Amino acid sequence: MSSLPPQNAIVTGASRGIGRVVALRLARDGFAVVVNYAGASAKAAEVVKEITSWGGRAIAVQADVADAAGVARLFDEAAEQAHGKIGVVVNSAGIMKLFPIASGRVEDFDAIFNVNVRGTFNVLQQAAKRVADGGRIVTMSTSVLGMNFPSYGPYAASKAAVEVLTRILAHELRGRRISVNAVAPGPTATDLFLEGKTPEQIDRLAKLAPMERLGAPEDIANMVSFLAGPEAGWINAQTLRANGGYT
């Protein structure tokens, strides 16, 4: 049986990359969107301006997902805009630092886990309390978990934790008809992915999938749109790997 969550959504990390495109897609789907950002206020304002330019509804709210108080304030402002009816939360905020385990700095390890794991915990904790019954919660993992690439250790470990938190929260929300799922993109053409890679490296990674191309942010947004919609109510506690057959 399908159900329709309240048409209000929070998207973290929505000022650029996959989060930006997810926010735009959900707005096109009819959601009023809270565009969260950590520091890129101008880029977040551009997302809001684009949504409102064609009649959509959006506001920008600053919060660092690693800061529990900031995340609580984000949900407070979202609830005020939505008259308490938050239907969808998409936690797209994340960072990727690549380094070998043997030579990595503990400061970089901590930075990854602060945003990717603590940030996910903070967002899921608030979502568990604030999302309306019948709503949707979506986190972001990565398909690199199945590849065991050198230098990806701490990043992949952080996303493995995201998948565990996602599945367990789905079970903790038993009886409320709230689905909690993760989307695991393969290599996707965002600034975060392309930064620091040579054209040769990018081409090699693009060819790993049978589709022989990088994913586009829109490919991931399409998956989130499906999970947020009425036909996905029976999908719960899953990780959906949107990667063109990458793993």
Segment 133-166, tens digit of pLDDT: 999 999 999 999 988 999 999 999 999 999 999 9
Which residue among 37, 152, 155, 246 is the active-site one?
155
According to the CATH classification, is domain 8-188+217-240 in 3.40.50.720?
yes
This model's pTM is above 0.75:
yes
DSSP 3-state of 4: coil
Residue 155 designated active-site:
yes
Are the C-beta atoms of 149 and 96 separated by less than 8 Å?
no
**Residue 102: pLDDT above 80?**
yes
**Residue 2: pLDDT above 70?**
no
DSSP 3-state of 90: strand
Residues 6+ apart with CB under 8 A from 68: 122, 125
